[in-house]
A and B are shown apart, each in its own frame.
Chain A
Amino acid sequence: MIRLIPPISNDDIKTLKVGEKVLITGTIYTARDQAHLRLVKEDAPAFDLEGAVIFYVGPTPAKEGQVIGSSGPTSSYRMDELAVPLMERGVKLMIGKGDRSKAYQEAMRKNNATYLIATGGAGALLASKIKKRTLLMYEDLGPEAVYALEVEDFPCFVAYDVYGNSIFKGGTDG
């Protein structure tokens, strides 16, 4: 098991190998379909992309007293193309579920980045690892807005590494 604290360095990326469990503690950022469409056009997003961790999630509304509602990963393939320019600008880790295109994997390796999966559908469990939530951008997108999440021991698995390996059996991979 590997513990990571963002921002993520190139040396951190080298330690990540397919199938390993990773626990993240620190700040990660939420973004999915609509937020990606906008983020790629932003000259200066409200957070530093260098070494950033992006979590593909659209949570349920928080009840009173809760930090966040259920927060499991969404399918990553929808962000394949839009993730590339963000990796070119420094994003190092992306957390979602399911396999991704060949083009994405190539861009990931070229930019020294890595793809992690969190257990899909485990929204209540993953929410329990999120300790604080701050709205950063695109409030009008509702559940798709960009938030900074402070996480503690947020559980993921390395799905593609920079050595050309994949965790997946099945899927189309492009």
Chain B
Amino acid sequence: MRKIKPESITQVIKKSLLKINYELEDSFVITLKKARDKEKNELSKSIMDDIIENQDIAKKGMNPLCQDTGVVVIFAKIGQDAYIDGDLYDSINEGVRQAYKEGYLRKSVVNHPFERQNTKDNTPAIIHTSLVKGDKITFKIAAKGAGSENMSKVVMLKPSDGIEGVKKLVKDTVFNAGGKPCPPIIVGIGLGGNLEKSALLAKEALLRDLDDTNEDPTLNELENTLLKEINELGVGPMGVGGETTCVGVKINSYPMHIASLPVAINIQCHANRHDEVSI
């Protein structure tokens, strides 16, 4: 057994949240610049210019990229030979608390659907745990804004709807969302499992590297086709029309009931704030 101190969990979570709220990954900035260069009209180009200038100002001044610094989502993959000398959930939430306070990040969490009192420290994070081999803990971390989350959905399709049904649902969802989820977006899709499993698959799909390749050839092809067809919708940056609506489609799947085809669509805005760290 390898002992992991709760303080070290708090520290990695805090450090990661401060970093992702101030700066985008270099590779993602390159993706955004390529998207800007593809735009043909002044308006769409001008919006992409704002987005690119914004990440520059944010990074240099250590200011949040976006005022919606999100709800923190964590996937903790815990090695079964790791021993956490304390409470995992408390140590993660302490990292969130410290990052959002010391980093001047907005506290966007309210306590109750109707009371809606701000918890004042952006806790609790939404934490998903799973057991894996080994003695490490790997955290996938995201700061997820509401603009894009609010445009996400789960739909239970019929198995006979098949691949065409999935494509139509995804394209309709992106088109109807328009500029609201802050395009250029990334679309995470969860296919299969059941109601809650599909939503988790979609969220985790959003955390994949943009330039990775799906190991399932059918899903890989579907990712590429959907990316192309979504961009043909012409929604464009912030919904004002243009060449780039989406910079990545990622699909994760899981076996399901013979009678079901659950589809979860989770949308990520261009403030694509996520990280992966191991301890």
By a beta-carbon cutoff of 8 Å, the part of chain A in contact with chain B is 19, 21, 34, 57-63, 69-72, 74-75, 77, 97-99, 117, 119-128, 142-143, 155, 157, 159, 167-172
Which residues of chain B have C-beta atoms less than 8 A from A169's C-beta? 178, 233-236, 239-242
Check if A125 sits within 8 Å of B54, measured CB to CB.
Answer: yes
Kindly list chain B residues whose C-beta atoms are within 8 Å of the C-beta of A60.
63-64, 67, 69, 104-106
Q: Lowest 7 A-B CB distances belong to which pairs?
A: A171-B178, A98-B180, A170-B178, A170-B235, A119-B50, A124-B58, A122-B54
From the candidates A120, A125, A128, A143, name the one contacting B179 in the complex (CB within 8 A). Answer: A120
- Residues of B contacting A167 with CB < 8 Å? 43, 239-241
- A61-B235 Cα distance, complex, nearest whole Å: 32
Could you give 9 example pairs across A and B, Cβ below 8 Å? A60-B67, A69-B104, A70-B65, A97-B147, A98-B178, A121-B271, A124-B57, A125-B50, A169-B236
Assess the B179–A98 pair: CB atoms within 8 A. Answer: yes
Instruction: Known contacts A125-B57, A128-B57; decide if A99 and B63 are in contact (CB<8 Å).
Output: no
Residues of B within 8 A of A124 (CB): 54-55, 57-58, 61, 63-65
B:188-241 near A, CB below 8 Å: 233-236, 238-241
Partner of B53, one of A97, A125, A168: A125
Beyond A72-B67, A170-B177, A172-B178, 14 additional contacts (C-beta under 8 Å) are A70-B106, A98-B239, A117-B238, A117-B240, A120-B269, A121-B65, A121-B182, A124-B64, A125-B50, A167-B43, A169-B178, A169-B240, A170-B178, A170-B234
Picked from B63, B106, B178, B182, the residue with its CB within 8 Å of the CB of A168 is B178
The verdict on B135 contacting chain A, using a C-beta distance below 8 Å, is no
Main secondary structure of the interface of B (DSSP, over half): loop
Q: Chain B residues near A57 (CB, 8 Å)?
A: 67
In the complex formed, the residue of B with least CB distance to A99 is B178
| B contact set with A: CB distance below 8 Å | 43, 46-47, 50-51, 53-55, 57-58, 61, 63-69, 104-108, 116, 118, 147, 150, 174-180, 182, 233-236, 238-242, 245, 269-271
Give bound CA distance, A99 to B239, whole Å: 8
